[in-house]
Amino acid sequence: MAIYVASRRLSSGTALRAMRSYSTSSFREERDTFGPIQVPSDKLWGAQTQRSLQNFEIGGERERMPEPIVRAFGVLKKCAAKVNMEYGLDPTIGKAIMEAAQEVAEGKLSHHFPLVVWQTGSGTQSNMNANEVIANRAAEILGRKRGEKCVHPNDHVNRSQSSNDTFPTVMHIAAATEINSRLIPSLKTLHSTLHSKSFDFKDIVKIGRTHTQDATPLTLGQEFGGYATQVKYGLHRVTCTLPRLYQLAQGGTAVGTGLNTKKGFDVKIAAAVAEETNLPFVTAENKFEALAAHDACVETSGSLNTIATSLMKIANDIRFLGSGPRCGLGELVLPENEPGSSIMPGKVNPTQCEALTMVCAQVMGNHVAVTVGGSNGHFELNVFKPVIASALLHSIRLVADASASFEKNCVRGIEANRERISKLLHESLMLVTSLNPKIGYDNAAAVAKKAHKEGSTLKEAALKLGVLTAEEFDTLVVPEKMIGPSD
């Protein structure tokens, strides 16, 4: 094994532990401003990535920077090279960077991005991870060796850029891409299926419930129509956040002034990203806001928090309405997807509802992290960028996947238990509400209380109290006429 040269910032024990995590006996020397450091020969990253890998042993592989961020770096670095060639970057180097960055954007080099979320709050190490991987891969494309820096990670790949503007830019690229490609299609499908169910169930009159107690009737279609509208509004909410996500910080460099860029660079790179992604990205209206605050991400996370709130209500309603099969509400028959118990034979559980509600809890927790992170933009730079990005992207992916699973494996197959619905409807004491206009609230309450106390029907109680005739009761208490305003 090559002799390991430790950084002055690292203990030999830490360095060796990091090295042992890779199944290679071959290393090459890379250098940065701290001096030489050994890097596994089969890895494309360089010195700064290696230092970060050894400095931040937090959480293991599961805590790595999200894949959408890595791919977004590929998009951004490709576009930066394209624009920088207009401002004097050697075309030979620029084209090699573009080719290498495209491989990153396609996910072909994702195994060369080992860094975790828990690092510097600006995301500098992940920006350098991208710079180093792309520089070394571009060198290979040009027929040179890794580590030679014939393509320089800072001077070439990171030209006209700072981690302070690249990381917020990839945050927006990643989030907007995931919302458009995953979240919106999943929510649209869920909304469509719920809307179809509201139509299928439009003639099924059932008892309503408020405070978990019997209330006046409605149709099962009306109930599902409420769910469909919640999802429709959720779609609208998250879509309305996109214009702010489409604003890119790139061109602000270190503190928002654009130092070390040329005039027009910010506009051109935003246009290049828009062309590359087919999304309407533009340069940020104010680069100081774009670096120092992440209100757009907090806003987007807030819309996801609201969607999670809606989905929690919908999933809970559906599993409670499907409770049983003999001793619960039993108004809905839910799809039976798998055995539900390791000890109780024949038991089947509302697992899709349970999975969705757990996702909602996680999304709500993620929003707390995003909110705390967003509120900690001190002076010219927010330094909670990685956790904001990670939590936001986690929420987008979870809501998208859980919505798709819930629609496919639960909502699509829901059926109404018409017999059970009818039985509960006609047993409810709250049908007495339709008597209010005829006999008044107090008399109607007396009818309900007598029926409840004696275990009789409302009609029997009304006749015993002498407040109505049988014919009047039958005319007034018609559940099908209680599901909307009267003429």
Q: List residues with catalytic annotation.
A: 211, 341
Give Dmax (Cα) for the chain.
Answer: 101
Beta-strand ranges (E) seen in 226-362 are 247-248, 282-283, 332-333
Q: What is the dihedral of CA 473, 480, 453, 443, to 10 degrees?
A: -50
Q: Token match 């890119």: residue?
A: 248
* Cβ–Cβ under 8 Å, residues 45 and 39: yes
Rounded CA-CA distance 157/97 in Å is: 7
Note whether 69 and 389 are within 8 A (CB).
Answer: yes
Q: Determine contact, residues 45/63, Cβ cutoff 8 Å.
A: no
* CB of 447 closer than 8 Å to CB of 434: no
CA distances from 409 to 101, 340, 401, 412 (A): 39, 15, 12, 7
How far apart, in whole angstroms, are the C-alpha atoms of residue 67 and residue 108? 11
136-170 residues labelled b (16+ CB within 10 A) or e (exposed): bbbbebbeeebbebbbbbbebbbbbbbbbbbbbbb
369, 378, 392, 385: which is closest to 122 by C-alpha?
A: 385
Strand partners, 210: 213
- Find out whether 391 and 300 touch, Cβ atoms under 8 Å: no
Distance between terminal CA atoms of the chain? 89
Give every CB contact of residue 166 below 8 A, 6+ residues apart in sequence: 73, 76, 123, 127, 158, 250
- Tell which residue, 438, 437, 461, has the closest CA to residue 448: 461
Q: Which residues contact 196 (CB under 8 A, 6 or more apart)?
A: none
**β-pair partners for 247:** 282
Region at 37 (left for phi over 0; alpha for psi -120 to 50; beta for the rest): beta
Count of alpha carbons within 13 Å of 155, Cβ hemisphere only?
8
Q: Which secondary structure element, helix H or strand E, spans residue 453, and what is its range?
A: helix 441-454
